[in-house]
A and B are shown apart, each in its own frame.
Chain A
């Protein structure tokens, strides 16, 4: 018997006899013989734990992990420091091995933690309501459009040309089946050019999507974007970098309607792209239309405060085909990591991490653009990520750096036809002056 099954042969026999059958096979008599095929499944014999660990270590060893390199790749996932506290606490079995907290009385711990997560996201973004998280940054945006559409009911979605192209692809996949289409807004100097939107597109659209800092790292003028959206009766949806909000204007301050973003940076490992979490926050009028799980505070029958999953009448298990979203989970453990991370950082820490990232990124930017290997692409202000154009093939440059265990940025050639030799470089609080001096020195040597 496999080691996760406690029952012995004797116990099984006892149970079968109690049920009144002579063999386990009888329990599967309900399955027609014509489709039963025990030989059909070509799965190898089970590995012992020792063999399994050996195999997995060998597989993991074929990857370069960012601890053995210096990572300047961002583009939607960032190599940030994760305090040991985060990993230790989310490993607690009471969180890790629990189900969705539908049984409130047996789940007060997780419910309170999610309530705190929602509160932390609201305070960070300056918004009035947050859900318990969705799958990732891309799907959060798709859900935001769906929410907006339930109010505006228009056929087009205005999308900044400086939006993360992977988010754009996810969005395109989702809106296609709602008889909607996305319209890309031109950009100028690395930021969205709202003046370029045609009158026709404006009239047919219900929402405006911007990312800030945008995919190129540049800062958008969100104040103006918000005024523009209001003037034209559009919902302003913004996808934000959560760490940037330590120093950058919050979406609440410029009165965004829906705020989404990738929460990986908040205490979640890179993990080759997932699991991450999409955070999702809204202004007051949209709270009851939010998708996904939401925790609310209430009282028990003695009047004591407690927490429950709330406003469930919006959700698929009640509304079925009339539900606004089909989501039936959140990234609870990742959201818990985000809550713990933000608690650890605290009021000052989030500012410090943002400032460290900002300053270091500007130090590297200034160093690299002075070399003959690179030149600046945009003059717009940026946060911790920037684009540089290389005089020669970027792949060659990246390979040369990789030989020194440096992952220098992400090439934009596949995503933007006019950026064949452009590199998107991200700098986090983990990077040191020494590492960056080496990068600049190598660039000098290469040019």
Chain B
């Protein structure tokens, strides 16, 4: 195990060379009562110490550049290098958000263009780039729904429907926006149970949140009917864009009947996940909801781009500034680089790769929803339970082979679920190696179950005790 940065270094070591004080010293004008009593206990290390420490830590991590990452629902595709370089141009990375408008026209133009591109891709009429993540896109969308309904005398509509397979953020966001959440069951095909939906829909329903293809990877083939059921009670339909990689350029949420959409730029539009952020979750709406978007919106007035704070119906601000601009630059590059054809190829190859793996794995593993799935699918790894092998045992064994495990135990409606999403940026060779390994691991589960139960074997740590961590939390360094 690597020592903590606090345990390295020696008193007096420094890693920064600051300029000498070139002004008089005014410290004696600072009242004693405002002064810090004991100095902050920060490390005392040299620059080589810092570099070696964090480089060492980096080697104990998986990244897409080095490892296949078939993590369902996360769209771990390759992150293009040119986009990183473009976002790092000083004209983007070293611009203060409160500079006069005429000194930031390039930033505003980029945002305006990206808004329009996303409108095209989503089939929406207006976009806000403010949400800093998918979950923030959701809460923004739900606040828009709440305010729109209130402004139209529909305060009584307070139920948001979510499928039982939905992402946890859907119900959490809905509750945060003041709605009551009701769950719709899935049917045998892994789709929203249409009959149940019809029975659950009444005047009190404010809307439905849906991912399509949904979280089991299956396209909701009755989407038009679902939309008309929700719209028949003046409800609104919210599209969770987590799985948009399957449909980009093929079908647009707006054409499916959705009224609001958020995209995850860190999924479909290739911006790096950064170990859990920063992401970006722009929210798009149909015309009738446009004036509810968070302030400010980027607009164009002849040749001038500007930040418009004027909409009186806006839900207000949800980000300290205008969103994760640096992430927006990368997504904009990606869309321009790929163009229309390139984007269609993304969906086609993502779906082809998933179907290919599923067909191969289906030879020896159980795939509960094996019809109509798209860019990802679910394996129910419950056929070796007699040997004591659970989904996580097989998944963690992949770590030994340099492959990141698939998403485990989500959604909860499938027992011993492994959700597999290869993305379009993986080659057949990689997919074949993965399938071969999955087969090998399955055999190991039969012949040598202990080997699997104690995986991984090749990392600096073995299986970690999460229960103990939660029971007695140690969340900071103590000498």
Given contacts A99-B275, A316-B169, A336-B275, contact A298 B468 (CB under 8 A): yes
> Hey, which chain A residues are within 8 Å of B413, CB to CB?
none
> Hey, which chain A residues are within 8 Å of B256, CB to CB?
35
Given contacts A30-B219, A129-B475, contact A346 B44 (CB under 8 A): yes
For A172, the closest partner residue in chain B by CB is B316
A138 contacts B317, C-beta separation under 8 Å: yes
**Residues 45-59 (chain B) with a chain A CB within 8 angstroms:** 45, 47, 50-51, 53-59
Is B460 close to A, CB under 8 A? yes
Residue from A321, A331, A360 in contact with B278 in the complex, judged by beta carbons closer than 8 Å: A331
Which of A154-162, A225-233, A247-255 lies at the interface?
A247-255
Is A173 close to B, CB under 8 A? yes
Given contacts A300-B463, A311-B470, contact A326 B139 (CB under 8 A): yes
A105 contacts B275, C-beta separation under 8 Å: no
B106 contacts A43, C-beta separation under 8 Å: no
B93 contacts A139, C-beta separation under 8 Å: no
Write out, one digit per residue, whether chain A residues 94-120 have a CB within 8 A of any chain B CB (1) or not (0). Answer: 111111110111111110110110111
Given contacts A73-B98, A109-B60, A253-B36, contact A334 B65 (CB under 8 A): no
Is B228 close to A, CB under 8 A? no
> Hey, which chain B residues are within 8 Å of A330, CB to CB?
276-277
A173 contacts B294, C-beta separation under 8 Å: yes
Residue from B86, B224, B404, B454 in contact with A35 in the complex, judged by beta carbons closer than 8 Å: B224
> Hey, which chain B residues are within 8 Å of A327, CB to CB?
133, 135-136
Given contacts A300-B462, A347-B40, contact A173 B316 (CB under 8 A): yes
B: number of interface residues (CB 8 Å): 200
> In whole angstroms, how far apart are the Cα atoms of A97 and B404 in the complex?
12
For A1, the closest partner residue in chain B by CB is B345
Having A38-B344, A59-B91, one finds 7 other A-B pairs with CB under 8 Å, namely A2-B342, A60-B89, A98-B64, A119-B476, A124-B42, A300-B464, A436-B23
**Residues 55-91 (chain A) with a chain B CB within 8 angstroms:** 55-68, 71, 73, 75-77, 79, 83, 85, 88-89, 91
A326 contacts B251, C-beta separation under 8 Å: no
A248 contacts B35, C-beta separation under 8 Å: yes
**Residues 414-432 (chain A) with a chain B CB within 8 angstroms:** 429, 432
> Hey, which chain B residues are within 8 Å of A360, CB to CB?
23
B14 contacts A298, C-beta separation under 8 Å: no
Is A130 close to B, CB under 8 A? yes
CB distance from A56 to the nearest CB of B (A): 4
Is A329 close to B, CB under 8 A? yes
> In whole angstroms, how far apart are the Cα atoms of A31 and B83 in the complex?
32
CB distance from A157 to the nearest CB of B (A): 15
> In whole angstroms, how far apart are the Cα atoms of A349 and B40 in the complex?
11
CB distance from B50 to the nearest CB of A (A): 5
Is A183 close to B, CB under 8 A? no
B424 contacts A110, C-beta separation under 8 Å: no
Residue from A30, A41, A172, A316 in contact with B121 in the complex, judged by beta carbons closer than 8 Å: A41
B4 contacts A119, C-beta separation under 8 Å: yes
B16 contacts A104, C-beta separation under 8 Å: no
Residue from B38, B178, B294, B461 in contact with A306 in the complex, judged by beta carbons closer than 8 Å: B461
**Residues 1-44 (chain A) with a chain B CB within 8 angstroms:** 1-2, 4-7, 11-12, 14-16, 18-20, 24, 27-28, 30-32, 34-38, 40-44
Is B153 close to A, CB under 8 A? no
> Hey, which chain A residues are within 8 Å of B184, CB to CB?
none
Given contacts A59-B109, A99-B69, A247-B30, contact A30 B374 (CB under 8 A): yes
Q: Which among B97, B320, B396, B454 has the greatest number of chain A C-beta atoms within 10 A?
A: B320
B132 contacts A275, C-beta separation under 8 Å: yes
Given contacts A18-B359, A38-B344, A293-B276, contact A106 B104 (CB under 8 A): no
Is A199 close to B, CB under 8 A? no
Is A296 close to B, CB under 8 A? yes
For B429, the closest partner residue in chain A by CB is A6
Residue from B61, B172, B223, B477 in contact with A326 in the complex, judged by beta carbons closer than 8 Å: B172
CB distance from B19 to the nearest CB of A (A): 7
A308 contacts B1, C-beta separation under 8 Å: no
Is B312 close to A, CB under 8 A? no
> Hey, which chain A residues are within 8 Å of B461, CB to CB?
104-105, 108, 300, 304, 306
B428 contacts A7, C-beta separation under 8 Å: yes
CB distance from B258 to the nearest CB of A (A): 11
> Hey, which chain A residues are within 8 Å of B77, CB to CB?
4
Which 10 A-B pairs have CB atoms at the shortest separation, nearest pair first?
Answer: A273-B321, A60-B91, A46-B339, A62-B106, A333-B274, A275-B278, A273-B97, A173-B316, A109-B60, A298-B469
B105 contacts A63, C-beta separation under 8 Å: yes
> In whole angstroms, how far apart are the Cα atoms of A77 and B134 in the complex?
24
> In whole angstroms, how far apart are the Cα atoms of A169 and B321 in the complex?
11
CB distance from B292 to the nearest CB of A (A): 12
**Residues 335-361 (chain B) with a chain A CB within 8 angstroms:** 335-346, 348-349, 351-353, 355-356, 359-360
Is B152 close to A, CB under 8 A? no
B95 contacts A343, C-beta separation under 8 Å: no
| 10 contacting pairs across A/B (C-beta < 8 A) | A11-B428, A63-B107, A77-B96, A99-B74, A99-B404, A105-B456, A118-B476, A174-B318, A177-B177, A272-B104
> Hey, which chain A residues are within 8 Å of B320, CB to CB?
76, 136-139, 164, 166-167, 170, 262, 273-274, 276
Q: Which among B63, B97, B461 has the greatest number of chain A C-beta atoms within 10 A?
A: B461
Which of B282-290, B322-330, B378-386, B436-444 lies at the interface?
B322-330
Write out, one digit per residue, whether chain A residues 290-320 have a CB within 8 A of any chain B CB (1) or not (0). Answer: 0001111111111011111011110111111
Is A196 close to B, CB under 8 A? no
**Residues 186-204 (chain A) with a chain B CB within 8 angstroms:** none
B177 contacts A245, C-beta separation under 8 Å: no
CB distance from A375 to the nearest CB of B (A): 19
B104 contacts A35, C-beta separation under 8 Å: no
> Hey, which chain B residues are within 8 Å of A217, CB to CB?
none
CB distance from A220 to the nearest CB of B (A): 9
Residue from B63, B134, B173, B425 in contact with A95 in the complex, judged by beta carbons closer than 8 Å: B63
> Hey, which chain B residues are within 8 Å of A19, CB to CB?
355-356, 359
> Hey, which chain A residues are within 8 Å of B275, CB to CB?
95-96, 98-101, 107, 110, 332-333, 336
Write out, one digit per residue, whether chain B residues 82-126 have a CB within 8 A of any chain A CB (1) or not (0). Answer: 101110011111111111100111110110000001001101000
Residue from B93, B257, B339, B426 in contact with A270 in the complex, judged by beta carbons closer than 8 Å: B93
> In whole angstroms, how far apart are the Cα atoms of A24 and B250 in the complex?
12
Residue from B18, B98, B173 in contact with A410 in the complex, judged by beta carbons closer than 8 Å: B98
